[in-house]
Amino acid sequence: MMTTAVDLGRGISFPPRVGADGRVAWSAGEDNIAEAIEVIVKTELGERLRLPDFGAGLGTFLFEPNTTATRRQIQDRIVQSLSTWEPRILVDQVQVEEDPGDPLAVVASIRYRLVATADFQRVDLTVRLAG
């Protein structure tokens, strides 16, 4: 059986935008999953009124030093939040490294497997440690 983009999920695109037809743009499949990962990682705990535990809560690391210990805590938080909130993936590896272009940021490389297809995907996100 062939897996289609709709089988992997569909939702309003992130960030929200207007499509060429003038309506709210939607995303589906692998793009929708990658966008959902970004939403989870960038959402602060308590930010969603009816789901106060949703998200990674990485804002707690704002103003923390860019050390190995901080990066490990960010890594653990990302793994935990994705394992809890994104059932369409299995997290394979999360690496959090210093951003070579910004000493006040880190880059989280998230490697995951799609449950529906067993295909590996990767998302890279920047996390700011200073405002």
**So what's the pLDDT on residue 6?**
47
**So what's the pLDDT on residue 8?**
76
**So what's the pLDDT on residue 82?**
98
**So what's the pLDDT on residue 4?**
53
**So what's the pLDDT on residue 109?**
98
**So what's the pLDDT on residue 1?**
46
d(CA 80, CA 99): 22
| One pLDDT digit (tens) per residue for the chain, 131 residues | 455 554 678 787 777 888 888 888 888 889 999 999 999 999 999 999 999 999 999 999 999 999 999 999 999 999 999 999 999 999 999 999 999 999 999 999 999 999 999 999 999 999 999 86
Q: Could you tell me which CATH number the domain at 6-128 has? A: 3.10.450.40
Domain ranges of the chain: 6-128
- 27, 1, 2: which is closest to 12 by C-alpha? 27
Q: Which residues contact 7 (CB under 8 A, 6 or more apart)?
A: 29, 116
